[in-house]
Amino acid sequence: MKTCFVTGDTLNSVWQEKLSELGRQDLIAFGFNGMGLVSYKKELSGETEYFHDLARLSKQLSCVIICGCDTDNYGVFRHSAVIADKGKILGVSDMVHSIDDSEYAAGSGFRVYDTSAGKIGLLVAEDLFFPETARVLALCDAELIVCVFKKLENTMPQIMLRAGAFANGVAMVLCANNYACVSDIKGRISVASCNDFVKANIKIEKDYHLIQSRRRGLYRDFNSGY
């Protein structure tokens, strides 16, 4: 899968000034810088057209585009990511976990999108830190898991990305502010860069680990006598 990560520019600035730098891709992913804050109220009233612009660009480039954003749902703020495929908005995924005293509320559940580039599972921001999230998407037959992140402050996102790819046997990619990386199913980083445009040819493959455990000794119900 030919993929390009846009880590330093907005969607509109790339569309208007740097479209030739994208090249022919199957998937293009923007970080949260792509659209910034999106108000559902303004989108519905036609005052803004962020989602419409995303759909138009995906149609023009004939590919799948994923873009991170913060959404304002009439005063309820969430970290989100929008996915479009060849002119059609497929959906909006929210960050499911609200950590500590975050001003961003928890959103809807996880989803795997059936796209022209394959089945893509979408993770938003700190959901990457919870191992069950990648497991859910892998069990739902995701061929690639894309995590849209804000800004990396340490190595933990990369560690969790590699662990998720290895544990679930599905390639995972990360697109953040000024950074992007790809982990294969062995947990190895195949691409990592701080460039504004990071291109990768991702091999779609899946692996399944057969896990068994051995228990020693005689196990009885706790309340039964010995």
Residue 17 lies in a domain: yes
Residue 191 lies in a domain: yes
CATH number of residue 128's parent domain: 3.60.110.10
What tokens does 214 get?
Answer: 């051995």
| Tally of domains in the chain | 1
pLDDT at 158: 94
> CB-hemisphere CA count at 13 Å for 216?
0
65 Cβ contact list (under 8 Å, min separation 6):
27, 28, 29, 30, 54, 57, 58, 83, 84, 85
Alpha carbons 117 and 198: distance in angstroms, whole number = 18
Helix (H, G, I), strand (E, B) or coil at 17: helix
Q: Which one, of 147, 128, 145, lies nearest residue 32 by Cα?
A: 147
Alpha carbons 34 and 25: distance in angstroms, whole number = 17
Asked if residues 14 and 105 have their Cβ atoms less than 8 Å apart, the reply is no
Q: What's the whole-model pTM score?
A: 0.86
Beta bridge partner(s), residue 78? 71
Length of the chain: 226
pLDDT at 19: 87
Domain that includes residue 47, residue range: 2-201
pLDDT at 218: 52
Residue 116 lies in a domain: yes
Residue 217 lies in a domain: no
pLDDT at 156: 93
pLDDT in tens, the chain (226 residues): 999 999 988 998 998 888 888 889 999 999 999 898 999 999 999 999 999 999 999 999 999 999 999 999 888 898 899 999 999 999 999 988 877 666 766 777 789 999 999 999 999 999 999 999 999 999 999 999 999 998 888 999 999 999 999 999 999 999 999 999 999 999 999 999 999 999 999 988 877 655 555 555 554 554 555 4
Helix axes 156-168, 131-139, angle to 10 degrees: 30
Residue 216 lies in a domain: no
Q: Which one, of 7, 44, 45, lies nearest residue 29 by Cα?
A: 7
Residue 218 lies in a domain: no
